[in-house]
Amino acid sequence: MNKKSVAVVMGGYSDEYVVSLKSGQLIYDSLDRNLYDVYKVVVLKDEWYFLGENDKKYPINKGDFSVALDNGETLNFDVCFNIIHGTPGENGILQAYWDAIGQKYTGCDFYQSALTFNKKDTLAVLSKYGIPSAKSIYLRKGEDINVDKIVEELKLPLFVKPNQSGSSLGITKVKEKSELIAATEIAFKEDNEILIESFLDGMEVSVGVIDFKGETIVLGITEIVPTNEFFDYEAKYEGASEEITPARIDAETTKRVEEIAKRAYNSIGMSGFSRSEYILMNGIPYMLEMNTNPGFSPASILPQQAKHYGISIMDLCGNEVEKALNKRK
C-alpha cells in the first residue's frame, strides 16, 4: 500500500505559535502510521522548515512547498495538516498560497478562514442567518474615541477587543468610564481595528463543531468558568478556568445551542475543526466569535469534547486528512 505523506504544519507569526507547536505535536503523535508517513513542518516569520531526524532543519522551498533532502531527493507532501493558530494559518493567507501552488490542505478554505478571523465581519454575515450577537461599536486606529457616547450606547461594564486576533490577546473588561481609553490602546497593540462590545451577563460556552464522515456534528458544549474576570489568555492556556463538558444546561437550551452552532458553521460553508464561543442569556446563545483552527493540545477543549463524544483523536485527525486528499485541487 502506498502511504500518503502528511506534513503537520505548525507555528505561526503571532504569540500563539507556542500553543500551535503543542497542538502540532498531538496531531503528529496521533496520525495513523499504517496509513500515513507523517512529517513536522514549522512556519515562523523568519523561517519555514521541515524538521528531520535529530531535529535537523531543512528549508521549505516556497515555490512548491517541497523539501530538498540530503540524499538529493525532493520531499513533497500529499496533504498539509494546518494547525497554525493566528496568522498566517487562521486568517486565509496560507490557504490562499497553498491554493495558488496546488497543495492540498486540511480545514476550511481561505475565504472562511479570512472571514472568521475578522470578528466584525463574521458577526455581520451571521446576523443575516439569525445568529444573535452583542451590540458593538467598531473603531479604526486614529479615529476619534467619544467615550461618553460609547458608554451611553453600550453601558458599563463593556469589553474592548482587537477585531482580528486570537487566544483572547488584547481583550479588556472595562468597568469604569476612565478605563476605556487605556483599554483601546491595549487592543490597538494587537490590531489596527477594534470592537467595543456590550457586556453579556450569562454563562460562557465553547462549542466544537466539525464535519465528520459527511455530517456536521456538534462535538460538545463546554461550560467555561474562569477564575479571572473572563476567558482570557491565562484562562485559556494557563489553567485559570474550569471547563465543564457537557455544560450544565437543560435539554432545551442544549438543543438550541447545537442548532445555532450548526447553522453558523453551515451558513458560511465551514469545514474542518471549529470552536465557537457563545454567552447564554435567558437560554439564548449570543455568538462572540468562531475559531477555525482552535487549540488542539492535550489540554485544549476540542480534544476533550471529542473524547466525551466518543471519537478518538486518531479518527478525528484521520478524517481531516482523508477529506483533504479527496478535495479537488
Q: Mind listing the pLDDT tens digit of every residue in the chain (329 residues)? A: 689 999 999 999 988 899 999 999 999 999 999 999 999 999 999 999 999 988 999 999 999 999 999 999 999 999 999 999 999 999 999 999 999 999 999 999 999 999 999 999 999 999 999 999 999 999 999 999 999 999 999 999 999 999 986 546 789 999 999 999 999 999 999 889 999 999 999 999 999 999 999 999 999 999 999 776 654 444 444 556 789 999 999 999 999 999 999 999 999 999 999 999 999 999 999 999 999 999 999 889 999 999 999 999 999 999 999 999 998 65
**How far apart, in Å, are the Cα atoms of 48 and each of 45, 66, 104, 121, 165?**
8, 11, 18, 30, 22
Per residue in 215-252, is it b (16+ CB within 10 Å) or e — as a string?
A: ebbbbbbbbbebeeebbbbebbbeeebebebebebeee
State the pLDDT at residue 230: 54
271 contacts 109 by C-beta, under 8 angstroms: yes
How many residues are present in the chain? 329
Which three cell numbers mark 40? 513536522
pTM of the model: 0.90
Which of 285, 291, 270 is closest to 212 using CA atoms?
270
State the pLDDT at residue 78: 98
> Can you say whether the dihedral through the CA atoms of 263, 266, 270, 272 is positive or negative?
positive
State the pLDDT at residue 170: 87
313 contacts 232 by C-beta, under 8 angstroms: no
SS3 275: strand
State the pLDDT at residue 327: 83
Which three cell numbers mark 237? 492556556
State the pLDDT at residue 299: 85
Which of 117, 194, 107 is closest to 150 using CA atoms?
194
State the pLDDT at residue 320: 97
How far apart are alpha carbons 9 and 104 in whole angstroms? 12
How far apart are alpha carbons 223 and 303 in whole angstroms? 15
DSSP code of residue 77: -
